Amino acid sequence: MPRDNGDNKHGTRCAGEVAAIAFNSYCGVGVAYNASIGGVRMLDGTVSDAVEARALSLNPNHIDIYSASWGPEDDGKTVDGPGPLATRAFLSGITTGRNGKGSIFVWASGNGGKHTDSCNCDGYTNTIYTLSISSATQAGYKPWYLEECSSTIATTYSSGILGRDKSVASVDMDPKLRPEHLCTTEHTGTSASAPLAAGMCALALEANPDLTWRDMQHIIVMSANPKPLSKETGWITNGAHRKVSHKFGFGLMDGGSMVELAEQWTTVPTQHLCQTPEIHENKILEPDYESELSVGTNNTGCEGTLNEVRYLEHVQCRLTLNFSPRGNLRILLKSPQGTPSVLLSQRPRDVISSNFDSWAFLSIHFWGEDPRGVWTLTIINAGPRKADSNGILKKWELLFYGTETNPIRLRPPSLQMFKKKHPATEEETKVVGENYEDNNIEDGLEIVYDCHEECDKTGCYGQKNTQCISCLHFKLNKRCVAECPEGYYSSGKECLECHSDCLSCTGPGRDSCLTCASHLFYVTDLALCITACPHTYYQDTENRKCLSCSENCATCQESPNQCTSCEAHLVFYNHSCLPSCPTGTFENRHQRCVECHPSCTACTGPKLKDCIMRQTEMFCSDGNCSQCPQGMIRQNNSCVTACDIGWYRWGNVCKKCWPGCTSCFGGRRDECIKCTEGRSLARGQCRLHCPRNMYSTPHGCANCHHFCSTCNGGGAYACTTCARQRYQDDSTGLCYSCHSSCSECAGPGAENCTVCDKGSLLHAGTCIPSASLSQLSVSQLKEMTHSAAAGKRRSYEMFTAEEPQYRRTKPPEYSPFVTVTIIAVIACLAILILFALLFATLQVR
């Protein structure tokens, strides 16, 4: 957690904007002053994919909103996004966070305006999972640091020009600056905007805690106000009659309007994804200034399928494109209704790199439009720098996220959101009719029916399977059945409905699927059903599965082990990701290893003139090199073209990998890429045995299914022990969810608990809240302790109303431990007295 010192003032300033308490007389009041807030210290050390993933997945059922004012370098030339683990954390958050309603991720859009950067080159804001928030000055203008892009959804106020525009006031952490109150009026940039947005989201959740992550996005789109920012140019009206801007999204966020909408909100329909076929065209973009390439595709909105979209939310354009310099490019997408959206503007500082590898540009500008019709993608060489050669658009596709039906269904404001349930009174009377199905039959009633075969031995009051006293196998709605049908799971002896995404499941949540509805893909390691696989997964279309790419792949195709692109610190060679290019190859500007000329063993390019040495030449005549020629690196006292196995390149020197690594990109334990024989790669470490929640494969350790604590293979059926809050069914081997009152359990019912959460006591297999024990009557204790599932009775012991008082006053029974204790105390006293006498005698002498 963050330390209480001046180094951490950035996080504390953000926290003060959100949750500074009401009626304080110091720095100001937070937007959501009833909210609780905490910080995660992660940016002052090495920030890895695993560090980001741990921060983004911290306590997802306790934390509602994650506010992030960080991201890749805003230098105008970086194109970077979350790695495989962080991507998985985002996906898990929006599907299972907040108990299935989805975590809210609020992200600062970036401060790279000085370098003409684009927030669509930041993979943390350029995603459907986050709310990308930009800034406006107090006068309603674009601040100098703002990045323009089509993924920004809305704006809040922040700083502007120093001396002319005010900055944001908040709590500060540096007592040297303000020793009296520890306050600041100088919180700046989009870092200050995102917390204000997070605070308004917290207000909406306070008004309606049942809002999902997509509900929040719709509420922001509907409530954002463009009028205070209308003095800035660039506003357009899209096909759904909404004003939108590349600077400010849909406008200035309005907390009051968000709360009003939240109180009337009805959950939006299920999100659909309509994906166009990937178009492989290899179209040429000429190197001339203002040369233009236009391609189009006619989209049906997946009409007549389960993925049909009529009301758009997000649109992604995923493309693979080579052009140098990359910063010259301007990319536009135009919808059938004529709405233009700039996916990428020129970035003058982006002059070294020349490729986009399956980069998905996001636009929210088509929100509410109908996707049917012709979509046009236009790529322009709009920059002043001279292009080296023709550019190539290798492939592209469009992904349309949205709903089949109108997502906006507001309740009348007069309807109360929460209605109290009135407890039944003793005077209430049950009306027993022909179809009466209560399981409580009076003792002594003689059953004379020939019961249905699915009734158990307790009998029935009719011959149908809806008239059993209790079921032999399972109860489905009001019927007794032999097994739970497709779309249902068994809990105790009841069949309960799976989530709508699941075809079969082990529990009610969308993270409990075993198989998916026919139009969805199954994420094998997360048990989720989603419309399309994330970029860090291989999409197995035939089996409708998402398989996690190999550990070092950024993306993969054909199979999980066939990398198509690599993480930023690795190079691509022969469908693998390596720390450096092998001997006989060189690294080009696309971070790919290319073969040298046949006459070279080392080179800087593909031609003969690029050879560093000929095969007949020697590196160092004395075998003791202190410096090496250009293109070579020093390992011990020798010059080499590539580091040996077990070494990695650091500048112009080879350094040793961690013991057990044969290939690595750094010297730490968790920076391995390949391992020595007998060891397996697990999250960057070479281990003798896979960790507890992983299993061994020929390519290293893979994650167990998230139902499992330990496993011997992939999938839900390979668990050897179950994860917390699950138990293993003996007949199927599957790990099913415990009852919600249990922390750990041996079965599905509330009476099968083995461990309780803090604040509850375990009694006869049932977890009873400690605070409620003193308030319960004897009859209530009877009901809690001895009620049985499906109306079954079981024997129990009970005490009378007078017995608790008797037990408090009755003298304790004899116990041998009491006698032993008394003897021990007497012996100790005797020894002390003897020691005192001896000491006094010696003193006298």
pLDDT of residue 430: 40
CA angle 743, 744, 749 (to 5 degrees): 95
Report how far apart, in Å, the C-alpha atoms of 99 and of each of 62, 94, 200, 212 are.
9, 10, 21, 10
Answer whether residue 796 shows pLDDT above 60: no
pLDDT-derived band of residue 306, with 50, 70 and 90 as boundaries? confident
Contacts for 256 with CB less than 8 Å, ≥ 6 apart = none
CATH number of 272-403: 2.60.120.260
Q: At what angle do helices 189-207 and 255-264 cross, to 10 degrees?
A: 30
Report how far apart, in Å, the C-alpha atoms of 841 and of each of 332, 641, 832, 833, 844 are.
104, 89, 14, 13, 5
pLDDT of residue 180: 63
pLDDT of residue 265: 95
Highest mean pLDDT among 24-38, 248-262, 684-698: 248-262
What is the C-alpha to C-alpha distance for residues 554 and 571, in angstroms, rounded to an integer? 11
Q: Report the share of the chain in percent with pLDDT over 70.
A: 85
pLDDT-derived band of residue 786, with 50, 70 and 90 as boundaries? very low
Range scoring the smallest mean pLDDT among 417-421, 515-519, 721-725, 748-752: 417-421
pLDDT of residue 511: 79
Two structure tokens written together for 436:
């009466």
Q: Report the share of the chain in percent with pLDDT over 90.
A: 37
Output DSSP code: residue 793: -
CATH number of 6-264: 3.40.50.200
Give pLDDT tens digits for 108-125. Answer: 999 999 999 999 999 999
pLDDT-derived band of residue 587, with 50, 70 and 90 as boundaries? confident
Give pLDDT tens digits for 473-507. Answer: 899 988 999 989 989 988 778 898 888 888 988 88
Q: Which residue has the higher pLDDT, 614 or 513?
A: 513
CATH number of 450-483: 2.10.220.10
Closest CA to 117 of 348, 379, 364, 340: 348
Range scoring the smallest mean pLDDT among 385-394, 564-573, 596-605, 813-822: 813-822
Range scoring the smallest mean pLDDT among 19-28, 294-303, 522-531, 613-622: 613-622
Q: Which residue has the tokens 């926290």?
A: 15
Give pLDDT tens digits for 148-207. Answer: 999 999 999 999 888 788 988 888 876 665 566 578 888 889 999 999 999 999 999 999
pLDDT of residue 41: 80
pLDDT of residue 436: 40
Specify the amino acid at residue 545. Answer: K
Sheet holding 647-650, edge to edge: 638-640, 633-635, 653-656, 647-650
Domain map (residue ranges) of the chain: 6-264, 272-403, 450-483, 690-733, 738-775
Q: Can you tell me whether residue 344 is helix, strand or coil?
A: strand
pLDDT of residue 615: 39
CB atoms within 10 A of CB 820: 10
Let me know how long the chain is: 845
Rg (CA), the chain: 33
pLDDT of residue 2: 53
CB 403 within 8 A of CB 269: yes
